[in-house]
Amino acid sequence: MNETFYKMENWDEYVKTFPDNINEFDWQNFQQQYRDYLDIAKLFQLMPGVGAFVGFYVNGKLIDKLSETAIFSYRMRNEELNSKSI
């Protein structure tokens, strides 16, 4: 979470690390990182009987991470807007 927070806090600097042309972005590495994160969990979801419980747990954890990131993003944006208006 700290790495994500740092990137968001220093977004203007982080954006400079992206390639100018979107076709130069390392999409294969990006896709593999995402796939590796969900790979084993999705494999267990294919198993009859167990899959539903694993899916419920894994999807719940993913939603928790996404909601936490969204909440912190909102707080950072709100703080930034409030500091500019003062």
Please write the tens of the pLDDT for every residue from 23-77. 888 888 888 877 776 777 778 878 888 888 888 888 898 899 889 888 888 887 8
pLDDT at 86 over 70: no
pTM over 0.75: no
> Quick check: helix, strand or coil at residue 20?
coil
**Domain locations in the chain as residue ranges:** 12-85
The angle formed by the CA atoms of residues 63, 30 and 73, to the nearest 5 degrees, is: 40
Q: Does the pLDDT at position 1 exceed 70?
A: no
**How far apart, in whole angstroms, are the C-alpha atoms of residue 86 and residue 41?**
47
Q: Which residue has the higher pLDDT, 74 or 1?
A: 74
